[in-house]
Chains A and B, each alone.
Chain A
Amino acid sequence: MIDLQTAPQHPFPREAGQFDSPPVRGWPYLANIIPVLMRRQAQLWLRFRVSSVMDILTMLAQASVFFFVGRAIGGETWTAASAGFLAVGIVVNTFLQQALTGPYHSIADAYWSMRLESLMFSPCPLIVNVIGDVLWILVNATISATFLAGIGAAFGARLSASAGEVLLAVAMLILGTVAVLGIGLISASMFMLINAKGFNDPISWLVGVLQGLVAGAYFPPSELPGPLYAVARCLPQTYTIDAIRRLLLHDDPAALARVGSLSPLASDVLIVAGMTVVTLVLGAMAFRLGIRKAQRDGGLSRWS
């Protein structure tokens, strides 16, 4: 029973404009809210920690298969360089895959767990919620990547890079992840634009398949037949993986065409930077279009 006598009095306002509306726009708000969104995801991760740990173990087992197959088939040609090549590809692919599918899953999870409308009632823009969720997903990917790197080391992978090169590789990973995040936003907008609500959308499916097949995570793109190699050169993932390998493994066998007189590494960086701008702009536009369509047709609403 509600005790109306003892319930405290709030200093509630009666007139418009007299309430203490905190700032809900701008960088200070974003700087405050992003960690809050990440913490919420962390709380959920901890709540389901057993299944989260099981997911990591499954992923490690699946990754180990590649190393076992490589070693079994490679025989004497399997070297530390081979293990390093595969380890870097798998680790980078983990981040890029999460950046690709994270935005869609952020929307889909919120929608199907009935939280989406509640988030939409708040002054925090939905895209900020998505970015907060994806940042946590990437933190989570870092944990997975650490274990994957350990598996790689166990199979003989060794880095041949200076501390500066490692830092550059991290910067390249961030740049490539942001580029793929732009594609992820386009993928998330499919939830609204074409009602792709069944945890499956054509953009992340197509790009995800191509990423695994042609981007060079498991073998050099130069091994691909011509048309697929051409497709590989359209993906930011290809250049990201290539650049990181060049930075961390100097004897990397992967080879991509130069751009003008630039070194392959510099061309990788420039291409990924350009693609980042394009995918982010397209992603933001598609997401905005998706939200507008959902507001028109009620496509994000489950409240009736």
Chain B
Amino acid sequence: MIEVEHVSKVFTYANPNANSNSPDMWVDYLLSLLGKKNLFHGASKGRTVAVEDVSFSVNAGEFFGLLGPNGAGKSTLVKMISTILAPTSGSIRIAGYDVQRQPAKARASLSVVPSGGWLSFDSHISVDRNLAFWGRLFGLDAATTKARAREALLAVGLEDQGATLPMALSSGMRQRLAIAKGLLSLTPCFVLDEPTANVDPISAADIQEFIRTKLNRDLGQTVLMTTHNMTEAERLCDRVAIIHRGLVVACDTPPALLAARASRVAEIRLAPALMATGTIVALREHPAILRLQEFPTEAGTTLRILLGEGIAQRDLTTIAASAGVGQEAVRAAAPSLEDVFFDVTQGMPPTEPDATAAIEELAA
């Protein structure tokens, strides 16, 4: 249904402030093109590889997740899928239509719900009128648009908000309204960019349940969802592609990704007495340990450990003993997508300049 083949996107910047609304912006732009540096040393000041040789396909009826931290290239990829950004190389097909050669048909096969939902509406006209306008843009007649708008609002639980202005709705409601807008046009694919970002946990759970149960399972919609929330991806998606620094570093079903690391995740329950002996430092610095997380408990601290490739849980007993920890403290633990992400991106620089911020964001 969605086929992405060897897609790359490289941005070149003649002017780093391209989105400024200064009235003199165009003068700056022209001067930057004519500037000595650009005239004699190429037309651009900067170059960013946002997406590099990405390939994946989303099957009809599948719930596919694009998982990665902010700046990984998810939104760039989604913009290319939704035809508003052209790939530098590679091809994308939606329901068989090439997004560059048949953009109108590709768009008619796709409902895009941008992050936050605030990009989807005209803030100054009512929900009903927004939906009526959107349905007509997709070529529906007035009567069909009206009937489908009623059904779509009912489907997302906003049937009593028709006269409301979108800006008066909560973030969660706006997100559901964006989905309702997609339901109008009966497109076979939905692309949802971080649908639960900036939404409270209760609304987020509500939206997740709706997308998985109603949109994907009951209505048979093919869903491509981007998220940086590992738990969300693990719970909702049939398959996930992990994207980091513009590269797809893993793509499989969550159970398969987890099973491949099942023997490499373990926990050590550390007694308070060992806390001051440098045990944690010794374990953290051990070359066989990829990642160590500390979780304080009433009985001391639990260390969650991801072992390097080829290292098994039983090897951890020996490693722990060398750090002064008895074998009874070591036990197996279930891997998470967070472990998978850490594993597949090891050795790669983080997307964010501040590595800690990126990891914390993923953990959240």
Contact = CB atoms under 8 A, between A and B. Distances in A.
Interface string B275-295: 000000000000000000000
Contacts, number: 199
B86 interface: yes
Given A2-B209, A40-B133, A123 B220 contact: no
B176 A47 contact: no
Interface in B8-23: 11-13, 15, 18-23
Contacts of B11: 297-298
Q: Report the contact-size class of chain A (Cβ under 8 Å from the partner).
A: 35 or more
Contact of B108 (A1, A123, A302): A123
B20 A16 contact: no
Contacts of B119: 114-115, 117-118, 302-303
Given A2-B209, A198-B22, A7 B85 contact: no
Interface residues of B, number: 75
Given A8-B154, A25-B104, A112-B21, A298 B214 contact: no
B234 interface: no
B29 interface: yes
Contacts of B156: 2, 7
Contacts of B125: 40, 43-44, 47
Contacts of B357: none
A300 interface: yes
Contacts of B79: 298, 301, 303
A115 B176 CA distance: 18
Interface string B86-111: 10000000011000000011011111
Contact of A2 (B1, B83, B176): B176
A114 B121 CA distance: 8
From A15, A48, A302, name the one whose CB has the most chain B CB atoms within 10 angstroms: A15
12 contacts: A1-B206, A2-B155, A4-B210, A7-B214, A10-B183, A14-B60, A21-B108, A40-B129, A118-B120, A197-B26, A198-B24, A295-B84
Interface of B is mostly: loop
Nearest to A110: B122
A295 B86 CA distance: 5
Which one of A13, A124, A199 has the highest number of Cβ atoms from chain B below 10 Å of its Cβ?
A: A13
Interface of B: 1, 11-13, 15, 18-26, 29-30, 60-61, 75-76, 79, 82-86, 95-96, 104-105, 107-112, 114-115, 118-125, 129, 133-134, 136-141, 151, 154-157, 176, 183, 186-188, 193, 206, 209-210, 213-214, 218-221
A258 interface: no
Given A1-B206, A20-B186, 11 more contacts: A4-B218, A6-B154, A12-B219, A14-B61, A24-B108, A32-B136, A48-B124, A196-B29, A199-B23, A295-B85, A298-B84
Contacts of A160: none
Contact of A44 (B22, B118, B124): B124
Interface string A287-304: 000001001111111111
Given A17-B96, A21-B109, A44-B124, A117 B220 contact: no
B186 A16 contact: no
Contact of B129 (A43, A197, A301): A43
Contacts of A25: 104
Contacts of B110: 121
Contact of A9 (B76, B218, B221): B218
B19 A300 contact: no
Contact of A36 (B20, B108, B137, B210): B137
Nearest to B71: A304
A122 B262 CA distance: 44
A209 interface: no
B167 to A, nearest CB: 11
A40 B122 contact: yes
Most buried by B among A4, A16, A47: A16
A282 B111 CA distance: 33
B118 A114 contact: yes
Nearest to A115: B122
Nearest to A119: B137
A301 B121 CA distance: 15
Contact of A4 (B26, B111, B213): B213
A296 B83 CA distance: 11
A113 B123 contact: yes
B187 to A, nearest CB: 7
